[in-house]
Amino acid sequence: MVADASTVINLNATGCAKDIIRALPNRLVIVDVIQAELEAGRQRGRQDSDLLSQLVSSGFLHIVKLGDVGAEHFESLVVGPAVSTLDDGEAATIAYAIEHHGIAVIDERKANRLCAQNFPTLRLGCTVDILTHTAVEASLGIDNLADAVFKALYHGRMRVFPNHVEWVVSLIGTRQAATCPSLPRSARRE
């Protein structure tokens, strides 16, 4: 699984990223471009770069680089009109997943739309897919999982695709959902 910056931010926001990643049956990697993106966030007072460094140094996340095939896909995703291009982190995540037949874990709608159009065989996931994994629930327990999801929503501003909204709200409850601006308005009604 190849995680985008938003996925790393959301996992960090849960407060239990190591436990979540440890529970997953697949290895989680990030492309070096993501590391640079998160480092740039340091100037805005964000700690995700430091938290990423801890995950990498403990062996929970691995930093990878694009090969020649990935570099070609990367270029095709960043060069062109804005409507059909992505930022470097999303493009690198997708390009690496294509090159290595992995799963791109991306929370942005535009990236998902472009992948569906241009790379229909690429497997896609999002942060919520990670959090809904049965191994993650078994590892954390339902109460800790609910707390982790709430923190990802509230602190990480995790995006939730329509097919996951019901699961999220039923897990964290309507009262907490009402305080999460990243959820759709319809899900924030008490």
User: In terms of domains, do 122 and 166 share one?
Assistant: no
String of b and e for 60-99 (b: at least 16 CB within 10 Å)? bbeebebeeebeebbeebeeeeeeeebbbbbbbbbbbbbb
User: In terms of domains, do 60 and 145 share one?
Assistant: no
Query: Which CATH number characterizes residue 34's domain?
Result: 3.40.50.1010
Task: Kindly indicate the confidence band of residue 31, based on its pLDDT and cuts at 50, 70 and 90.
Answer: very high
Model pLDDT for residues 10-19, shown as the tens digit of each residue: 999 999 999 9
> In this structure, is residue 105 part of a structural domain?
yes
> In this structure, is residue 74 part of a structural domain?
yes
State yes or no: pLDDT of 190 exceeds 70: no
User: In terms of domains, do 163 and 89 share one?
Assistant: no
User: In terms of domains, do 123 and 153 share one?
Assistant: no
User: In terms of domains, do 24 and 104 share one?
Assistant: yes
User: In terms of domains, do 25 and 100 share one?
Assistant: yes
> Which residues does 9 contact at the CB level (< 8 Å), separation at least 6?
38, 48, 156
Q: In the chain, how many domains are there?
A: 2
Model pLDDT for residues 118-138, shown as the tens digit of each residue: 999 999 999 999 999 999 999
CA-to-CA distance for 61 and 52, rounded, in angstroms?
A: 8
> In this structure, is residue 133 part of a structural domain?
no
Model pLDDT for residues 81-101, shown as the tens digit of each residue: 988 899 999 999 999 999 999
> In this structure, is residue 143 part of a structural domain?
yes
Model pLDDT for residues 155-169, shown as the tens digit of each residue: 999 999 999 999 999
User: In terms of domains, do 26 and 111 share one?
Assistant: yes
> In this structure, is residue 59 part of a structural domain?
yes
Domain encompassing residue 65: 2-128
